[in-house]
Chain A
Amino acid sequence: KQEVTQIPAALSVPEGENLVLNCSFTDSAIYNLQWFRQDPGKGLTSLLLIQSSQREQTSGRLNASLDKSSGRSTLYIAASQPGDSATYLCAVTPSGTYKYIFGTGTRLKVLA
């Protein structure tokens, strides 16, 4: 059974710092992996989608990498800003299924 883990559960950093969020999954047979952002009491916003054949995706200050063989993905945020404060979730789609399996998220706080 596929399980997705995100460590740490919470993180506080000073503004301007570069940071890395981690996501690990137990089964490498996946279609893709997606990173989301969730603000308190709101829905999820898709940040980056990495297909299983890809190694990384970039959007602005965000870079996500995927290493299927080790069951890991990282989300790199450059030059963090207070507006980046949110919960970040990763999700994988196991091969042969039509559903996402979500991690529990990392709650990020960027201090001004």
Chain B
Amino acid sequence: GAVVSQHPSWVICKSGTSVKIECRSLDFQATTMFWYRQFPKQSLMLMATSNEGSKATYEQGVEKDKFLINHASLTLSTLTVTSAHPEDSSFYICSARDTNMGETQYFGPGTRLLVL
């Protein structure tokens, strides 16, 4: 149980384009989803927290107009990187938590974004 999927697992795009990443909880309802970014050899950096049906809460320094997060249902959240630039190249990982059922969050497999 507690499986989280992400799609795509890899994406390469040209600078200036937008990229959408999907995060799905497959066997539980995710009342909260988190989006993280991780640069090589660095730790996870929380970008934002989203609760189903509410606007996402962004961490300090994360541009909400650049990283659009939608959590429209209890099983799906999306992160759209708008007007991507090479510095946005990173490993993006989502996680999901059912606050009614347990303590922990479960991570998706991650999405590697390369912006050329």
Chain B associates with chain A: no
Q: Enumerate chain A interface residues (CB-CB to B < 8 A).
A: none
Q: Enumerate chain B interface residues (CB-CB to A < 8 A).
A: none
